[in-house]
Amino acid sequence: MAEPRFLQLSEVAEELAVSDSQVYHMVRSGELPAIKIGGRGQWRVERVRLEEYIARKYAETAEWVQSNPLIDKE
């Protein structure tokens, strides 16, 4: 069965192992692209956008690790 194209914020939170409120903040701040649909303005995150976000976070983390090497305290 194919994965759904759009995810609810609660589903995104589950995939990222964070709270629903953290995902809501990521969406509202523009950090994670999402759309509002329907008369009640429900948020949806396209799966491809979530995967792009994850890839971007891996790249940012790798850059941070390079800039902040772990120093052994011997």
pLDDT over 70, % of the chain: 97
Average pLDDT, the chain: 95
48, part of any domain: yes
What pLDDT band is residue 21 in, cutting at 50, 70 and 90?
very high
Instruction: Say which residues have a Cβ less than 8 Å from residue 43's Cβ, sequence separation at least 6.
Output: 8, 9, 24, 27, 34, 35, 36
- Amino acid (one-letter) located at 67: S
CATH number for position 52: 1.10.1660
Residue with tokens 């329907």: 38
**Structural tokens at position 42:** 């429900």
22, part of any domain: yes
Q: pLDDT per residue over 37-49, tens digit each?
A: 999 999 999 999 9
Number of domains in the chain: 1
Contact (Cβ atoms closer than 8 angstroms) between residue 62 and residue 71: no
pLDDT over 90, % of the chain: 88
pTM for this prediction: 0.85
Alpha carbon distance 52, 27 (integer Å):
14
